[in-house]
């Protein structure tokens, strides 16, 4: 089965690795759409800490990942699912229900997020450490 998943994967951490490994375990081929810097800016009004070329290189280097592309638009998910011939879309459960309409194209599964870690929390830790020492 061919699996597809999407994410920003900024400041790559263990929660990201866990979901990618678990996504791959559901099939034999894993495609990852890494969200573009511009897409992040349009969604969150800030750019990721790590630029898209770096985020894509990191994801590409993982042994559980077979193929990587840049996700330029949230509206193109259906096209990406078809283009990469995915049989199953996997997302973390922070997205539960949000992609159910793709069930007409492929299976849709939401996996439990790894508790206690997020890019936002990492940024906060760095920020508070920097504040303390400056
Ligand atoms: N994740 C996880 N556990 C965490 C943190 C993240 O399982 N502790 C998962 C998320 O649920 C997501 C993936 O890791 O499936 C990537 O997370 P983000 O980089 O935060 O991606 P996001 O901004 O949700 O981008 O088109 C959708 C977007 O591209 C998704």
Q: Residue 119 belongs to a domain with what CATH number?
A: 3.40.50.620
Give the number of the atom of ligand 1 that is nearest the alpha carbon of residue 6: 29
Contact, 19 vs 110, CB < 8 A? no
Domain around 32: 2-132
Total domains present in the chain: 1
pLDDT value for 133: 61
pLDDT value for 123: 87
Q: Tell me which residues have their CB closer than 6 angstroms to ligand 1.
A: 6-10, 15-16, 19, 35, 71, 74, 91-92, 94, 113-114, 117-119
Q: Write down how long the chain is.
A: 134
pLDDT value for 85: 98
pLDDT value for 132: 65
pLDDT value for 129: 83
pLDDT value for 1: 97
- Is the pTM higher than 0.85? The answer reads yes
Residue 20, judged by CB atoms within 10 A of its CB (0-12, 13-18, 19+), counts as buried
Give me 88's structure tokens.
């199953």
Ligand 1 center to 8 CA (angstroms):
7
Give the chain's residues under pLDDT 70: 132-134
pLDDT value for 127: 86
Instruction: Report the nearest-CA residue for atom 21 of ligand 1.
Output: 7
């Amino acid at each position: 089965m061919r699996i597809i998943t999407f994410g920003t994967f900024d400041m790559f951490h263990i929660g990201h690795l866990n979901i990618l490994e678990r996504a791959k375990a559901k099939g034999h081929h894993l495609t990852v759409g890494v969200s573009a810097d511009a897409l992040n800016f349009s969604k969150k009004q800030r750019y990721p800490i790590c630029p898209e070329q770096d985020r894509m290189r990191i994801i590409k280097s993982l042994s559980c990942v077979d193929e990587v592309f840049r996700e330029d638009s949230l509206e193109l998910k259906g096209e990406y699912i078809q283009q990469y011939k995915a049989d199953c879309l996997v997302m973390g459960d922070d997205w539960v229900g949000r992609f159910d309409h793709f069930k007409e194209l492929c299976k849709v599964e939401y996996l439990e997020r790894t508790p206690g870690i997020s890019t936002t929390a990492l940024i906060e830790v760095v920020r508070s450490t920097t504040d303390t020492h400056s």
